[in-house]
Amino acid sequence: VRFPEDLEDDNTTFNPEYSHQVFGDDEVAFGYKGLKILLYYIAGNLSTLFRVEYTSKVNEKFDCVEADDVESKIREIIPPGFCTNTDDFVSLLEKEVNFKPFGMLLHTYSIHNEEAGEDITYQIYKADMTCPGFREYHERLQTFLMWFIETASFIDVDDERWNYFLVFEKYNKDGATLFATVGYMTVYNYYVYPDKTRPRVSQMLILPPFQGEGHGAQLLETVHRYYMSSPTVLDITAEDPSENYVKLRDFVLVKLCQDLLCFSPVKLMQGFSQEMVTEAQQKLKINKQHTRRVYEILRLRATNMGDAEQSRSYRLDIKRRLIGPYKKKQRELAKMRRCLRPEEMTNQLNQIDLNMQREQLEESFQQLVSDYRRVLERLAQA
């Protein structure tokens, strides 16, 4: 909500992707007709208005059943201090002009908005719990995780090893410049013996009204560049990354790596090398596993897949990596042969049909190439 009229505007409304973490695996609230759970957030500081509406509710006295206590379930995840009255919320909205982003400004960028017919400016900040008011703001911000990240959990904000990166949109209201929350990322700094840290991306969310505009890539690249400048950082990883995050990371890392000398077309055609691993880690804080994916994407760009020899060479190179888990299984089978009875061995062999392996390998390869082509298409448009 930026203006009072947004309260009545359905175009500003977005629905949760998940509600199982609040309402159970069936995502059902029992005992109501026409149930609406309404959560309004002021665009910048995220002050909250919470209301529950319904047309009718089962009555314990007459129906001998009790409706779910929807309100208490929501109260468990939103911090206290929220409004239940629209007038109180609108009076808070009037004070929004005083809200300013927390922490240190890292990056400013613009994106052209077709609807508005102008460039809109965004800024990325790094904050921590020492910033006045940030703890309370973060409590409100993290409630979005429950609705948009499938395995979300709230973090221990008293642990000083957490870093917070925030994206804001600058907008004008009555001649004043205000800020709207776009998204954020939390990063945990793990200790690596003897004197390094390994920042691990924990949670990353771009709010639904801003998705698909490139903010995720801007945020991830800014965070990478922030840690790249630190001599104590070994490399940057992610905790249990989603499929969408992996695609985003592929794009950002390829964009960062493509100008390194070790990824020149000539060197790419010679195969994956230790030089790539070393340079990517030392200059860009990218680990070996991610460097390998970058190599495969950039080699695809350098390969003429219409040329039979080049295409075959690329296919073999990728499949040699993909076959690793299958070879591990073969080694395990070799061990089993020495200690299993014949009938037990037959059961194990039935699970690993070689033709099926080949089919799975080809399927994995085709899927990978398809994903890599999308990264390269996005890179060409960037």
Q: CA-to-CA distance for 168 and 184, rounded, in angstroms? A: 9
Q: What are the distances in angstroms from CA 307 to CA 125, 268, 311, 313, 318?
A: 47, 16, 6, 10, 17
Contacts by residues 296-300 (CB-CB < 8 Å, ≥ 24 positions apart) = 296/321, 296/368, 296/372, 297/250, 297/254, 297/372, 297/375, 297/376, 298/254, 298/257, 298/258, 298/263, 298/268, 299/268, 299/269, 300/369, 300/372, 300/373, 300/376
Q: CA-to-CA distance for 135 and 66, rounded, in angstroms? A: 37
Beta strand ranges found along the chain (DSSP E): 32-33, 36-41, 48-53, 56-57, 104-113, 118-127, 162-173, 176-192, 196-206, 237-238
- Joined together, the tokens standing for residue 338 give 């020495």
Q: CA-to-CA distance for 49 and 184, rounded, in angstroms? A: 21
Confirm whether 239 is a catalytic residue. Answer: yes
Q: CA-to-CA distance for 94 and 131, rounded, in angstroms? A: 23
Name the active-site residue from 66, 239, 362, 377.
239
List CB contacts of 333: < 8 A, sequence separation 6 or more: 348, 349, 352
- Joined together, the tokens standing for residue 226 give 């922030």
As annotated, the active-site residues are 239
